[in-house]
């Protein structure tokens, strides 16, 4: 199906759903500003087009690399794209809304990182029903299918792949609005309850004269889908291990695990 044919289906679907003249919808139409509509749910955008018109956009979104002979048929490339769209959408939403004097670049970075973190993406995936879709997409006899459905990294990557698919087929404006809507609970939580596990851990350790160090112990996956594993050590002893799509995220996760250990010892 050509891009023009896909757009024609999207145009007809939106016009029908919103009860507007199809002529009002073109490549540059802004979903909320021009059509006065609420933002599109990420999964609904993909699923409804499939159900109504047979436009198969989600086959690749729910295909794990171990389920296909060609890695390019899996969700990894879409997740790479969606990760960038997600970060930009949240950044563009935050930037004009938060006072420059109170929210400098460092604070904005932490809020964004918390909003788009692995646990946040997993929560969105669960709300969108991704685990059920992933189970349904698993080939008969696929190994580790149950474990994959419960893996944070997999669910987070599929959330990003959904965003990537929506971006390719609906453009940035509509996808960004849907992203902000989908991540609204995580965004509000990050603003109201900012988390910096590394700083909290260091403050706790400083009370007893200890210092924490972080070391990257493993790097997994191809360059565009790399996962880092980091170990937090105190006095040469490992106190927590974490994994993330960046070294900073992995360090935060390692600090979180270390804090749980401290709380358990208390």
Q: Please list the alpha-helical segments (H only) found in the chain.
A: 3-18, 42-53, 58-61, 76-94, 105-115, 118-127, 130-137, 145-149, 152-170, 172-182, 184-192, 197-206, 247-265
How many angstroms separate the first and last alpha carbons of the chain?
Answer: 61
> Which stretch of DSSP H or E encloses residue 218?
strand 212-220
Q: Is the backbone of residue 19 left (phi > 0), alpha (psi -120 to 50) or beta?
A: left
Per the structure block, which two tokens stand in for 159? 């959330």
- Annotated active-site positions, please? 83, 160
């Amino acid at each position: 199906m050509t891009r023009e044919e896909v757009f024609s289906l999207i145009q007809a679907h939106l016009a029908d759903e919103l009860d507007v003249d199809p002529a009002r919808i073109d490549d540059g139409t802004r979903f909320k500003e021009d059509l006065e509509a609420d933002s599109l749910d990420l999964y609904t955008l993909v699923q409804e087009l499939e159900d109504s018109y047979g436009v198969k956009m989600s086959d690749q979104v729910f295909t794990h690399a171990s389920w296909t002979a060609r890695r390019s048929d899996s969700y990894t490339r879409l997740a790479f794209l969606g990760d960038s769209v997600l970060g930009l959408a949240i950044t563009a939403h935050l930037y004009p809304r938060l006072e420059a004097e109170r929210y400098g670049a460092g604070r904005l970075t932490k809020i964004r990182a918390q909003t788009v973190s692995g646990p946040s993406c997993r929560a969105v995936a669960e709300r969108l029903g991704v685990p059920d879709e992933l189970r349904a997409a698993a080939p008969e006899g696929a190994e580790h299918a149950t474990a994959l459905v419960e893996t944070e990294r997999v669910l987070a990557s599929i959330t990003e792949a959904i965003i990537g698919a929506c971006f390719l087929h609906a453009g940035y404006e509509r996808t960004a609005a849907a992203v902000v809507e989908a991540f609204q609970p995580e965004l509000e939580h990050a603003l109201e309850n900012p988390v910096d596990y590394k700083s909290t851990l260091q403050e706790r350790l400083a009370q007893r004269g200890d210092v924490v160090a972080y070391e990257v112990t493993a790097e997994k996956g191809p360059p565009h889908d790399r996962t880092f594993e980091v170990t937090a050590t105190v006095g040469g002893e490992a106190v927590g291990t974490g994994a993330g799509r960046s070294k900073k995220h992995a360090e935060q996760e390692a600090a979180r695990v270390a804090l749980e250990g401290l709380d358990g010892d208390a």
